[in-house]
């Protein structure tokens, strides 16, 4: 039986493993994290009916997916720095972009897999091609695995990608500082009221700073302070000192409405620095038998609300074409890549339009 190895237990890797399992095709997923609970999994995702939901549908988990949807979260509003609501878009239950929490979606996928499908605590150190055309993965713990089919679902800094491409992510010209307010309904009611029922965005064109906020379960407000600045602009912020970092970042919002400043100043976690990166627009590679990429490993782009959706789509599509040609998986991979590359160009071009300082190498 053909051995299929997937590197990375994010949404893409797990969706691929589940899609294959639906068709009776076993695979093994190797993940660097020690367990499914090793770290938080990010915030809300709007899963689109034209890409992400296709991936979910391939897994046969649409009913489970629907059970995770947070009603009302498709509402959004734009707010001025002084707190004035500029545009308020109400929730549209038929909007085709239902919101779920990333961690809950990941757990749905994990729970759907056969026992032992995910091997935790295996961080990929290197990958090489063997003389027989298979590929060998070496993990940081010293273990090695040789495989017939290798799929890199290992994100922005993929260790599998160098087998196919010399491309590396470039800084997108924007960094974010992630914060949380928990129980905002009682602890920060004015801020919750300003955010509204779903997501909120505020931006100052003069200072080039902004806030993006998502309302999660239990009135949790998950925020990203946005700064369109070069990387060295952040050198003076000590993100190892959470309270000091919160004060420094909050001070950058001087003159903003206190309800907005509270999203940073009163964060219930130490602020997390998240610079944004993207691969070259139209990233592609010459086909190498037995290996391919999905998700950010294949087409990392600065965030525009589509990254997770296209990762789900990739995984569902690759799993489906493999199931259609189980005796010639390499032909299936070729077909997947032939459709992937033009899509990569279109989606990366669209994402880059939001980042005027992004100069992909």
Using one digit for the tens of pLDDT, what is the confidence trace for 83-118? 999 999 999 888 899 999 999 999 999 999 999 999
pLDDT in tens, 16-50: 999 999 999 999 999 999 998 887 767 899 999 99
| pTM exceeds cut of 0.75 | yes
Q: Which of 324, 337, 335 is nearest to 292 (CA)?
A: 337
Predicted local distance difference test score (pLDDT) of residue 143: 97
Q: What is the mean pLDDT of the chain?
A: 95
Classify residue 19 as exposed, middle or buried by CB count within 10 Å of its CB (0-12, 13-18, 19+). Answer: buried
Predicted local distance difference test score (pLDDT) of residue 305: 84
Predicted local distance difference test score (pLDDT) of residue 43: 84
Over 80: is that where the pLDDT of 216 sits?
A: yes
Mean pLDDT of 303-329: 96
Name beta bridge partners: 215: 221
pLDDT in tens, 124-142: 999 999 999 999 999 999 9
Over 70: is that where the pLDDT of 361 sits?
A: no
Backbone angles phi, psi at 177, to 5 degrees: -120, 115
Q: Which of 155, 218, 225 is nearest to 12 (CA)?
A: 155
CA distance 251 to 276: 22
Q: Which of 184, 217, 270 is nearest to 103 (CA)?
A: 217
């Amino acid at each position: 039986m053909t051995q299929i190895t997937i590197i990375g237990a994010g949404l893409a890797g797990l969706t691929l493993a589940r899609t294959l399992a639906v068709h009776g095709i076993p695979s093994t997923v190797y993940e660097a994290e020690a367990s499914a609970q090793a770290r938080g999994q990010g915030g809300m995702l709007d899963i689109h009916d034209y890409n992400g939901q296709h991936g979910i549908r391939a897994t046969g988990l649409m009913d489970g997916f629907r059970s995770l949807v947070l009603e009302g979260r498709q509402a959004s509003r734009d707010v001025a720095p002084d707190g004035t609501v500029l545009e308020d878009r109400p929730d549209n239950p038929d909007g085709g972009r239902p919101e779920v929490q990333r961690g809950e979606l990941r757990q749905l996928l994990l729970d759907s897999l056969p026992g032992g499908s995910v091997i935790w605590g295996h961080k990929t150190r290197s990958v090489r091609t063997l003389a027989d055309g298979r590929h060998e993965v070496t993990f940081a713990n010293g273990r090695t695995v040789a495989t017939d089919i290798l799929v890199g679902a290992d994100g922005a800094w993929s260790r599998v990608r160098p087998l196919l491409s010399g491309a590396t992510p470039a800084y997108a010209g924007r960094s974010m500082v992630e914060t949380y307010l928990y129980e905002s309904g009682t602890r920060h009611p004015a801020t919750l009221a300003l955010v509204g029922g779903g997501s909120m965005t505020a931006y100052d064109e003069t200072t080039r700073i902004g806030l993006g906020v998502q309302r999660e379960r239990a009135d949790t407000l998950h925020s990203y302070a946005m700064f369109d600045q070069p990387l060295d602009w952040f050198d003076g912020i000590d993100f190892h000192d959470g309270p000091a970092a919160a004060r420094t970042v909050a001070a950058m919002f001087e003159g903003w409405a206190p309800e907005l400043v509270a999203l940073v100043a009163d964060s219930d976690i130490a602020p997390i620095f998240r610079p944004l990166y993207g691969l070259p627009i139209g990233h592609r590679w010459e086909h190498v038998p037995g290996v391919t990429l999905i998700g950010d490993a294949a087409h990392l782009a600065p965030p525009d609300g589509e990254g997770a959706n296209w990762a789900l789509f990739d995984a569902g599509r690759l799993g489906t074409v493999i199931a259609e040609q189980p005796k010639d998986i390499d032909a299936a991979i070729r077909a997947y890549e032939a459709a992937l590359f033009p899509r990569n160009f279109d989606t990366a071009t669209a994402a880059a339009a939001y980042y005027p300082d992004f100069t992909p190498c």
